[in-house]
Structure 1
């Protein structure tokens, strides 16, 4: 999932924000199932448009830490929604210098009501006098790298957008960092991504209640930036049922990479003194740690927490596959019109100021070679237009490879799937919203222009004109998604801002210019293959390459570095593995008896003889692991003495603890089929086995038993010990249990 973990969500937070509204006395009210809600009203600068605000309405009860949200209960007296309520707890990692920059750029001023774990509330901005159920709804999901953020921050104040475009604007809070995305598979499967569950409950609340505030629940558009944009695509490719929106806008982010544990949960439990052998005890201990202490521990340890792919419960395993396949199967995702875009200088951030292009690329792209770096430099030579120095070069390359080009490819995916798809690029910079001199159209810089929340001091006429032009485009799309924002579908792009900057000459600029994508991003044609490699959309790799990635990073070293994440139905090859802490997939431990992924303190082995495997079998392992055809499957009853021609293939294996020896190794005959909860046998459909063997494992002399056997699409796979010296690799099918 690309949630811009590379680019921290950075929003200018000047000490003086615009105060364009005048309080008026008559308080608006709305009546919903929970009770009466009392709001407030403000007038826009034209003094003609009045917007009602209902702030801090709870859509959930105070959440139990590390548990899903529960709907808010009715209140006995009218609810005061005239002021914002607390934001969710935010995380800003050390070292101190970087932390201070992030807080300065993002959290100054901070949320008006501070932070709390009791934070699941939303804000509604609606035109005064709106009849029940009459207005389209814009549902905003904030960014913040899944570490921080709030719908109550000043940048997202929705009165101007609501008033100017005659919309109902909703902004929400959701849990982030360890509180929202604890990164542990030991929680029940449907409860891994608590922050996403918060978002979905807020959407459900809107469906049930927004009509009372003038909104039409049948005309909801979801939109978000950075992590919020990734959340939007997560809702598209793993939608609730029924789908609670009819269109989507993605700003600088997508859900295109599988994200798996980094080890932060285990590290956090150790720091908190809660690393018990029993997970229930660990969880209860972690719930007792004061929130402020837990926040400080993870910040000082510089731990990051991200969503986990949960096979479509809240986050699809392979969003790109789903986008493309939805043309034939329109039930697997929300087939809605989309507007996607990015800023012209996404990576023009302090993070890239003091590093070379070699350092940036080698940290970002696994195993990028010196020759590849040289090629990239050749495409972005210093001295070419817009690239005057090393910082320009680094930021331009990362901007295009990490954001601009991927947005192009994803928009094309939607179009190829016969979905209406439009693109934009924001290319404007103003003195009153710069995060440093020359910061350009940096990541998130479009937000204040879109919402009209830029500071009054230093504002220019063109800044106001550009703000209205963006609001009109978004409003047009939200009111009638099928007709788009006012320009043609891809490959056309709407360019906002025309490159205006504080250093611009007096030459007039156009607020909106429409061009062909190849004119503004010709290099994206060249980089499409590299993008697929980086994001692991479809892998076609040698096993030595796969293992090398796993072994070089001690956090993700596993035995034997096989990843049962999925089989591409189009290619029949494995797809989705993790090469480091931020890119797709995970190497799996094949022991512990839990049948799941685990973070181990050290590697089980340091290398695995994939070359020997290939030489002795004369097979490409990835080709061999193609799923068997349906006509080869058969139903077999599991017994205590299964035949030697069957793979162990339950949908999940979670209760084999009693079958491990003193070393923690599982001793089960290959093919044993066990219930995930009771250890009993059940009937499954397994493909006949076609063994591939290696007479001798050059490293250990033997192989582990088949514990990590997981459902892959409708199947399961595993690596197990056959006779103590033979490596058997198998792919079989079994129904989910």
Structure 2
């Protein structure tokens, strides 16, 4: 069956499977950002006549591959083509008025796409949600900033996301979705994008609930740091630091240079060279440009910019082990390196002693993963929940705690391990290297149901996060509701993170 639905730019023809779910892929939400549009804000797509086939995934944003060994653990899709500002829709009932969920993929703002098979929206549509995935500009194309003389706006990748949400507002009713019940959800860079969107005036009113997985509202660059990254990119390429000169660089050279910057930041995480990117370990991130993103997101949210948005935010138990175990970094961490890294995060020596006391049998590499997990992911999530509740808004917190058996069990509940559980796509082979054999379906059942409930009602099924209880839903082999977990470690970071 080939259903045909109308959008403001033309009709699209999808495909309905035996399960009754209609799928529409490769619908343009903005014009191709190439040629003279390469470093400009997104513009509406050109209308088309007739009916556009929407049965296969379209092009994905240009990107270099993940560096080894992450390329073996994180699924990636690369479909060439210029018209990559596109989205995909799964709907169980085009005549319905159903809640909508819009997925923003992760990938450190330089990788990923909405076309990864593990992000297939069938399970969400099966359970009564209209699901949307999308592509947005990555790397320098999406997040380049060259300083106060730069004529082009920063945060083009975020503006792409806003354009996609505007498309949802204007068109999703044709697909059976309710534009007044839109939940945006994302993981890693996708969640950090949502943290920025919660503070951006242009995103106001485009979504009503937000789910942030392994990312919150702390990972941004100041204009000065972003300009340093941009200047270094130009230096690597041997061109002047201007948009025109960078736009003239062949795409493959630009992507290779971006990847080189990531490697250099990891090898030399010196704030004097990279600013905030030295700690964030990502050269391209949202920029507090004073225009599109006027203030650091966590500060704006604490002042009420998102007080009308329900938030579900969380982390995995062992986030940073994805970056220390497969790479072989963990056994190389010495006590001295641990102390230096903790100091770079702002944690004083007595804080390191508290971690050592909490994990007395842990090697230095394991303690580093604990501290880095807290700095990168856990504390930003809790601070976002605190900021929301401080404005009288509802915020719910979760922890994903199922330890993967992959790599002899050393990964633990690492970064990205929660993704196939949320999408109820445990059988997808793209995640097999990360999850091992037979990941538990009952955890997928409970997580996926909680996300559905939150998008539908604003309540995922456990108490909101507020003092003094600080309730945290723990998704592990045995589900639990924890109250103020790791409180003695959380308070170590008060005033620091």
Query: Does TM, normalized by the shorter one, top 0.5?
Result: yes
Counterpart of 2:181 in 1: which secondary structure?
Answer: strand
Match of 1:472 among 440, 449, 453: 449
Aligned to 2:24: 54
Aligned to 2:175: 213
Matched-pair contact (CA < 8 Å) for 1:226–1:252: yes
Matched-pair contact (CA < 8 Å) for 2:237–2:254: yes
- Counterpart CA distance in 2 for 1:462 and 1:296 is 35
Aligned to 2:161: 199
Determine if the alignment matches structure 1 residue 229 to structure 2 residue 191.
Answer: yes
Counterpart of 2:198 in 1: which secondary structure?
Answer: helix
Written as runs of structure 1 = structure 2, the 5 A alignment for 1:140-219 is 140-163=103-126, 165-186=127-148, 191-219=153-181
Counterpart of 1:315 in 2: which secondary structure?
Answer: coil
Determine if the alignment matches structure 1 residue 380 to structure 2 residue 358.
Answer: yes
Matched-pair contact (CA < 8 Å) for 1:181–1:193: yes
Aligned to 2:274: none
* Structure 1 position 364, deviation (Å): 5.5
Aligned to 2:418: 446
Residues 133-186 of structure 1: per-residue CA shift (max 9 Å, x gap): x110001111111111111112211111221x2000111111111111113235
Aligned to 2:427: 455
Matched-pair contact (CA < 8 Å) for 2:451–2:460: yes
Counterpart of 2:69 in 1: which secondary structure?
Answer: helix
Unaligned runs of 5+ in 2: 265-282
* Structure 1 position 230, deviation (Å): 1.1
Residues 345-390 of structure 1: per-residue CA shift (max 9 Å, x gap): 111124341323542452364385883465244333432xxx4x33
Match of 2:90 among 122, 125, 134: 125
Determine if the alignment matches structure 1 residue 106 to structure 2 residue 74.
Answer: yes
Counterpart of 1:271 in 2: which secondary structure?
Answer: helix
Aligned to 2:269: none
Matched-pair contact (CA < 8 Å) for 1:91–1:177: no
Matched-pair contact (CA < 8 Å) for 1:58–1:121: yes
- Counterpart CA distance in 2 for 1:350 and 1:182 is 25
Counterpart of 1:245 in 2: which secondary structure?
Answer: coil
Aligned to 2:4: 29
* Structure 1 position 256, deviation (Å): 2.2
Matched-pair contact (CA < 8 Å) for 1:258–1:317: no
Matched-pair contact (CA < 8 Å) for 1:137–1:219: yes
- Counterpart CA distance in 2 for 1:409 and 1:39 is 42
Residues 678-706 of structure 1: per-residue CA shift (max 9 Å, x gap): xxxxxxxxxxxxxxxxxxxxxxxxxxxxx
Determine if the alignment matches structure 1 residue 295 to structure 2 residue 267.
Answer: no
Counterpart of 1:429 in 2: which secondary structure?
Answer: coil
- Counterpart CA distance in 2 for 1:212 and 1:227 is 29
Greater fraction helix? 2
Written as runs of structure 1 = structure 2, the 5 A alignment for 1:507-518 is 510=478, 512-516=479-483, 518=484
Match of 1:269 among 228, 231, 234: 234
* Structure 1 position 56, deviation (Å): 1.3
The alpha-carbon distance between structure 1 residues 369 and 308, as it changes in their structure 2 partners (threshold 3 A), is closer
The alpha-carbon distance between structure 1 residues 118 and 334, as it changes in their structure 2 partners (threshold 3 A), is farther
Matched-pair contact (CA < 8 Å) for 1:35–1:78: yes
Counterpart of 1:100 in 2: which secondary structure?
Answer: coil
- Counterpart CA distance in 2 for 1:106 and 1:202 is 25
* Structure 1 position 315, deviation (Å): 2.6
Aligned to 1:415: 389
Aligned to 2:289: 310
The alpha-carbon distance between structure 1 residues 440 and 42, as it changes in their structure 2 partners (threshold 3 A), is farther
- Counterpart CA distance in 2 for 1:223 and 1:87 is 19
- Counterpart CA distance in 2 for 1:105 and 1:462 is 15
Matched-pair contact (CA < 8 Å) for 1:405–1:524: no
- Counterpart CA distance in 2 for 1:186 and 1:73 is 32
Residues 289-343 of structure 1: per-residue CA shift (max 9 Å, x gap): 22112112332354622221022x43342333323322xxxxx445211111111
Q: TM-score, normalised by structure 1?
A: 0.58
Instruction: Return 343-352 or 461-470, whichever deviates more.
Output: 461-470
- Counterpart CA distance in 2 for 1:195 and 1:472 is 30
- Rg larger for: 1
Aligned to 1:5: none
Counterpart of 1:106 in 2: which secondary structure?
Answer: coil
* Structure 1 position 395, deviation (Å): 1.7
Matched-pair contact (CA < 8 Å) for 1:382–1:390: no
Unaligned runs of 5+ in 1: 1-25, 44-48, 94-98, 277-281, 327-331, 499-509, 536-737
Count matched residues: 458
Aligned to 1:356: 334
Residues 488-545 of structure 1: per-residue CA shift (max 9 Å, x gap): 11121111123xxxxxxxxxxx3x32221x2x3222343232xx32x4xxxxxxxxxx
- Counterpart CA distance in 2 for 1:370 and 1:489 is 31
Q: TM-score, normalised by structure 2?
A: 0.85
Written as runs of structure 1 = structure 2, the 5 A alignment for 1:707-722 is none
